[in-house]
Amino acid sequence: MPNTSCTQERKEKGSEKVAKKEKEPEVKQLAPGFKEGEKVIPFAEVQKHDSIDKGIWVTYRDGVYDITKFVQNHPGGLERILKAAGGQIDPFWAMYAQHNVASVKDILGEYRIGHLSQDEYANLPPPFDPYQTDPKRDPELVVQAAKPFNAETPLRVLAEQEYLTPNDKFFVRNHLPVPSGSLIDPSTYALEIVKGEDEDPVKLTLKDLQDETRFKRKKICAIIQCSGNRREDQNSVAQVEGLTWYTGAISCAEWEGVALKDVLDSVGVPSTLGMESELEGEDDQLHLQMEGMDRPKVGEWRDTKGFYGASIPLAWAQDPRRDVLLAFKMNGEPIPADHGAPLRCVVPGVAGARSVKWLSKLIVAEEESQSHWQQNDYKAFCSSITWDTADFSSLPAIQDMPVNSAISSPPAKSLVELTSDGCTW
């Protein structure tokens, strides 16, 4: 008689081995580019490859990649990618949302050389979360992206509000982590203004801007709308790039602050009103560049060049009819962190991307802001142009927004009951 217990034991051990073999690739496939039979590489070995001379190795999740041949072609520049050399790129990819698409992961997969052991990967410290200090949000906001946080005002609120959108229901469009701590402390905040290349910068504290003996207070009711609002309507015709906004990337608030024109006048910026460039739209018109305090950060490192920035023609900033405001209050309260505390430039009637939050610097310049978001985003191409063929340098940045409307009640795809006479809902 065969020893059934031994046979069963061998079967169980065999099945364990099969199970392990089947389970192991699942872990390795957390990261792109997995290859059967690839070698296990200790993390200590990865850490040795942290320079061009030694080679640039990085890990993403459990995968190991030799990106030495790629770093010179990195769209974000050599300096940024070297910050991850010999370590994890996970926190950097969490920081720069443009990495979270299949095409970018496919490129990384081409450089895969192995993987970490399951035990070592499980015991690595969790990657730094650059969004860990973001503020809490109202749970009713319609979230379209968690990191960076982007959320719509609920359609119900837009339909029911009398005119102003409550601060906690105001739509949120963030590109980077929300600045926190000393960066947005009203007691230490200062706005830097650069009038020209050869001019010394002028600094104004929040207290200076709120001093009514220096600047007259002003209130305006202004709508801010993301230029991508209602993108889902476009997606119903043909797929387009960007967040899937429905109808709620738009809100209205009463903004209180001081006229940007008054502030520029106070520091001696010459007026451009009436100049030919303002009337005719000449290319040689001056621009007002704006820099925000929202910058990429990983641990103690902050990207000094990756800040959010935008610009408008200087003539717009100096035109009293445009009501451009340096706002420190929103609906009667200090501006919340998500909406630009302690100071936001509000540019009525223009794409929301130009109403720079967490304003840190104003620069009078002969060229537009060189920020990624002014040069390589927020531009509208005709339908025959794809993401791969788009030449962003060929088009101006979106400024003015078209008038449009949306039906708020009944909401899209809802069921309604008709009465027999067909006259009431």
**Residues recognised as catalytic:** 74, 99, 173, 226, 378
For 273, half-sphere exposure in the C-beta direction (CA atoms, 13 angstrom radius) is 12
Q: Pick from 193, 191, 197, 178: which is nearest to 289 by CA?
A: 193
CA 323 vs CA 276, 346, 348: distances in Å: 21, 9, 7
| CA dist., res. 170 & res. 161, Å (int) | 11
Return the SS3 of 59: strand
275: phi then psi, degrees, rounded to nearest 5:
-70, 155
The structure tokens listed for 339 are 């909406």
12: three-class secondary structure by DSSP = helix
Rounded distance, CA 197 to CA 184, Å? 27
Report the C-alpha gap between 335 and 224 in whole angstroms: 14
How far apart (Å, rounded) are the C-alpha atoms in residues 249 and 71?
36
For residue 254, give the H/E element and its range: strand 250-259
Do 353 and 294 touch, CB atoms closer than 8 A? Answer: no
H or E element: which one contains 156? helix 155-160
β-bridge partners, 312: 288
Of residues 89, 124, 117, the one with CA closest to residue 105: 89
Starting at the edge strand that comes first in sequence, how are the strands of the sheet with 359-365 ordered? 202-205, 190-194, 359-365, 287-292, 309-313
Find how far residue 193's CA is from the centre of its chain: 24
Runs of H (alpha helix) within 291-350:
314-318
Copy the structure tokens of residue 266. Answer: 């106070």
